[in-house]
Amino acid sequence: MTPSVGVVIPTAGGRPARLRAAVRGVLAQDYAGETELVVVADGAAEDKIAEDVADALAPRDAHAPRVRARVLPNRLSPGLPGARNTGIAALSTELVAFCDDDDMWLPGKLTAQVAALRAAGAEFAACGIEVEYGGRRVPRLVGRDRVTKDDLVRSRMVMVHSSTYLFRRGGLWADESAPGGQNEDWDLALRAAKRNPIAFVDRPLVRVRWGASHYATRWADRIAGLEWMLARHPELAVDPRGAARVYGQLAFHHAALGRRREAVRWAGRALAARIGEPRAPLALAVAAGLVPAHAILSALHGRGRGI
């Protein structure tokens, strides 16, 4: 039988057009199985979110697969992990999928991922993305059909994005202890990969829209999130490439906050772990006042990359 799929879209409100596009991306899927959509209002007016969802549901194609949709308030801890878990708890489907409220699934996403999940006998699946920023769209792919724990230790792998997640319901939940909701998606994927390799559909089947995130430049939260990951997953500090990447990010975020001494310290640790770590000189340039952090981020985003 074709497994049922529940889709969780958390939203804090404030970007109704993108939320409607996210909902329509779910509705436009050609998936033959039962699909249920839960939009979780996280600190936003539930009535307003319900209006936006109803507006997205209105121009339905008569031949489109039927999708049951509802809006719920976040009943757990405030923030993204609690909102995700509220959605998971409300579902009774065999599989769970995530989509952020500023992203959009592309046609065929769900059918391809469910097929890959079943063919691999996997618990968790992801897929390629196309990053949309500044009028450009850049595909980000892996180049293979699975992602392992070691892959996610060496690199955050932006293409293993929360809006691509599809997994079997029951064994995996977002960790609500993530500070400011930072890195809870990386943590979830890494925990899943420690159990079994992630099945990966290496085609851009989700459009990830950068530039409107509520978390884009919360530097202190980013620092806390990386320190949280290092404490939860000690292997991140063992792999030289993975350690250098995390230390370089910490250096950059401290530099963005004007903490020069901390930026230099973490940049030194990054270079000690891997002499060619590119984030270290970027952090030092920001710390020295040669270039603003947002300018570097903008340039990287235009190439479909983050810091």
| Residues 77, 18 share a domain | yes
Task: Tell me: pLDDT of 130 over 60.
Answer: yes
Backbone angles phi, psi at 157, to 5 degrees: 55, 80
| Residues 200, 224 share a domain | no
Mean pLDDT of the chain: 93
Tell me the pLDDT band of 113, cut-offs 50, 70 and 90.
very high
> Where a domain ends, among 159, 180, 209?
209
Query: Which CATH number goes with the domain that contains 61?
Result: 3.90.550.10
Tens of pLDDT, residue by residue over 285-302, are 999 999 999 999 999 998
| Residues 97, 33 share a domain | yes
> Where a domain ends, among 165, 184, 209?
209
| Residues 120, 44 share a domain | yes
- CA–CA dist 77, 201 (Å, integer): 32
Residue range 53-60: average pLDDT?
77
What's the pTM value of the predicted model, to 2 decimals?
Answer: 0.94
Domain annotation covers residue 268: yes
Task: Give alpha helix (H) positions in the chain.
Answer: 16-27, 46-57, 80-90, 109-120, 149-154, 184-195, 219-232, 240-256, 260-273, 279-287, 293-301
Number of domains in the chain: 2
Q: Residue 49's domain spans which residues?
A: 5-209
| Residues 201, 256 share a domain | no
- CA–CA dist 11, 245 (Å, integer): 30
Domain annotation covers residue 214: no
Tens of pLDDT, residue by residue over 179-212, are 999 999 999 999 999 999 999 999 999 999 987 5
Question: In the numeric block, which tokens belong to residue 133?
Answer: 């920023």
Domain annotation covers residue 109: yes
| Residues 154, 76 share a domain | yes
Task: Tell me: pLDDT of 215 over 60.
Answer: no
